[in-house]
Structure 1
């Protein structure tokens, strides 16, 4: 069963956050975001690039659009400040399914509701426009903040993939796989919308 529409770059707008197609002109704002609190150092187990690696990471993600492997976004808060990046990736038309990930946000955006609204925007588009049956979310075993956030979405843990790859420092990486499937989406959506009413 194919996607109802192909995953392509577009802008998704909420009250707290706007997800815009990743572009090279977002570089300066994203450098500022990773510099805040030395995010790329403190979040060593994530996909956060160092300031001098932001341009290369943008180019890497943009190249994956061309091969049909990723649809990346830059997240902006209501003031127009770049707060981070996220992506659709791992497309499988036979289910159909996709993943949401390669996500990071500047520290001052944590707890602001922008991440929850980003996930609401992305999953609404995935389930209701693209027609996916499964949305996957993968994080690292040691990333307890991310695991808690994913579980608060209502995602269910599918399993732990041990020693699946290595971190930048060479340590072995254990990944945790979560998912939300289409029959669960109405309840997940209602929960997210309820949480966000407290932020508006």
Structure 2
């Protein structure tokens, strides 16, 4: 359990099943499948870690996600392939809320309903236990900023935080349960095209 969260607040490694995807806890033997999903440089082009497609850099990322004990992999239910991952965490400046981040999605799944289903599953699970979900986004990652805003999250402030082992500048986006309910009611459940 992450620091700051009440004892029975949130299961950080649930199994979440959607129409197109299965989200499940990351396992040590997921490395090859997850690396295959993240080995294209285009996956990281808009990200601050632009060289994460390289095996030695991806290995560091994978090991950090394993150590967190809060990472979920995304499994395409049709193909059985791993297509990315994300994780829950508690940020040092928001100890009573949960954050979602350290996310990547294979670029062949961009621009459609996949990201919405991932976020719907993860947010619906989180909002059973907390009132606010936070996203910490690199100021240069415009793609993630736009995607997060589409969820109903609002840029609340900027901060220098140690979320992953060093102090980094973050744009901090807050999504309230009420805003998420409004977004879901306006857009409905995502469907496979």
Q: TM-score, normalised by structure 1?
A: 0.78
CA offsets, 1:68-104, max 9 Å, x none? Answer: xxx1111122321111110000168x97311000001
- 1:17 shift after superposition: 1.8
The one of 170, 173, 176 equivalent to 2:171 is: 176
- Whether the aligned pair in 2 keeps the contact of 1:133 and 1:182 (CA below 8 Å) is yes
For the pair 1:34 / 2:32, whether they are aligned, the reply is: no
- 1:115 shift after superposition: 1.1
CA RMSD of aligned residues (A): 2.8
For the pair 1:45 / 2:44, whether they are aligned, the reply is: no
Aligned length: 182
CA distance in 2, matches of 1:88, 1:47: 22
* Cα separation, partners in 2 of 1:192 and 1:88, compared to 1, 3 Å: farther
Larger helix fraction of residues: 1
- 1:165 shift after superposition: 7.2
- 1:39 shift after superposition: 3.2
Query: Structure 2 stretches of 5 or more lacking a match?
Result: none
- 1:120 shift after superposition: 0.4
What residue number does 1:121 align with? 121
Query: Which secondary structure state, in structure 2, belongs to the residue aligned with residue 83 of structure 1?
Result: strand
